[in-house]
């Protein structure tokens, strides 16, 4: 890939989603944009870039930017985090809220496996402390195509093999005539999906008891991570928590959040009386 083409597309990814794609991973750009290039009849990515530059089309540019974001996900990824959420964090939040309702936001949920995994876990192993509670699960993603796939609840054979047990596959899915596996209507009704760019305000989504933003921030540049951290913090209910992926941290990114004292690896609203920590994004 020519440097000029790479620079244009890497800049598109950075501006559109905060993703920082290094030159050494230019092959990811080629792989992720190839389907769009073929669909539009472009002979090369150079032709695609020329189109983006010569004809202003925000919708098409946004589609390309979304396509450059990793869609890597699977059922029950980092299962221990989901178990801790269901068995410990949600019961504590339910008791603290005293409303009988819980709201969970899965930010950057891709094609829905994470949201459906949580729904399955709550269906199969509902902790006694959560019985009778109304639990709302919202999954959002930048990519419109990913959201549309998630809503159908249909997955290929390779996708259901990643993290999903045979027991759960047979219990919660049915095989379609096309050979795909479709999740039950019961579970599909328990999850809602919306398109949302994490770089934009999430005020329209409401407030949440728990926000899962796992393995999303790590692909962004530092400025974008800081911006997203502040945005997520603004959507927490009092006492709410944010859960990241293994090895991810918000240290130095925001003064709005700090590590939870009660749940290791979780983040909650910072104590306003503590001394601020520098969050330079230089």
Cβ atoms of 181 and 157 closer than 8 Å: yes
From CA 276, how far away is CA 39, in angstroms rounded? 50
| pLDDT at res. 137 | 98
Q: Where are the domains of the chain?
A: 3-67, 79-269
Give pLDDT tens digits for 3-60: 899 999 999 999 999 999 999 999 999 999 999 999 999 999 999 999 998 888 899 9
| pLDDT at res. 221 | 94
Residue 77 pLDDT class (50, 70, 90 cuts): very high
Beta strands in the chain (DSSP E): 101-107, 134-141, 154-155, 173-175, 181-183, 191-195, 208-213, 236-244, 257-259, 266-269
DSSP one-letter code for 270: P
DSSP one-letter code for 271: P
Give pLDDT tens digits for 149-208: 999 999 999 999 999 999 999 999 999 999 999 999 999 999 999 999 999 999 999 999
Q: For the domain with range 3-67, which CATH number is right: 1.10.155, 2.60.120, 3.30.530, 1.10.10?
A: 1.10.155
Residue 281 pLDDT exceeds 80? no
DSSP one-letter code for 41: T
| pLDDT at res. 274 | 63
C-alpha separations of 118 from 12, 81, 87, 121, 200 in Å: 33, 10, 11, 5, 25
Give pLDDT tens digits for 51-69: 998 888 899 999 999 999 9
192, β-bridge pairs:
138
- Contacts of 160-164 with CB under 8 Å at 24 or more apart are 160/75, 162/74, 162/75, 162/113, 163/74, 163/75, 163/76, 163/77, 163/79, 163/113, 163/117, 164/75, 164/76
Residue 275 pLDDT exceeds 70? no
What's the CATH fold of domain 79-269?
Rossmann fold (3.40.50)
Residue 239 pLDDT exceeds 80? yes
- 3-67 and 79-269 in the same fold: no
| pLDDT at res. 169 | 97
């Amino acid at each position: 890939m020519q440097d000029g083409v790479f620079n244009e597309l890497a800049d598109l990814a950075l501006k559109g989603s905060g993703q920082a794609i290094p030159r050494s991973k230019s092959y990811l750009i080629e792989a992720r944009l190839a389907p769009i290039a073929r669909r539009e009849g472009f002979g090369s990515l150079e032709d695609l870039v020329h189109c983006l530059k010569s004809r202003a089309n925000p919708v098409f540019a946004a589609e390309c930017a979304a396509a450059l974001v990793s869609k890597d996900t699977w059922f029950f990824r980092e299962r221990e985090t989901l178990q801790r959420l269901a068995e410990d964090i949600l019961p504590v939040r339910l008791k603290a809220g005293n409303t009988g309702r819980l709201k969970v936001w899965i930010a950057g949920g891709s094609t829905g496996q994470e949201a459906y995994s949580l729904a399955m876990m709550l269906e199969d192993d509902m902790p006694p402390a959560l019985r009778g509670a109304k639990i709302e699960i919202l999954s959002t993603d930048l990519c419109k195509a990913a959201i549309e796939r998630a809503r159908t609840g249909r997955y290929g054979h390779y996708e259901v093999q990643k993290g999903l047990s045979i027991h759960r596959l047979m219990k919660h899915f049915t095989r379609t005539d096309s050979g795909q596996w479709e999740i039950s209507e019961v579970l599909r009704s328990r999850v809602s999906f919306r398109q949302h760019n994490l770089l934009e305000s999430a005020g329209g989504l409401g407030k949440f008891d728990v926000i899962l933003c796992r393995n999303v921030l790590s692909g962004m540049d530092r400025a974008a991570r800081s911006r997203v951290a502040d945005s997520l913090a603004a959507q927490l209910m009092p006492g709410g928590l944010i859960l990241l992926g293994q090895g991810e941290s918000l240290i130095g990114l925001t003064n709005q959040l700090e590590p939870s004292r009660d749940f290791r690896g979780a983040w909650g609203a910072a104590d306003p009386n503590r001394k601020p920590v520098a969050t330079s994004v230089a």
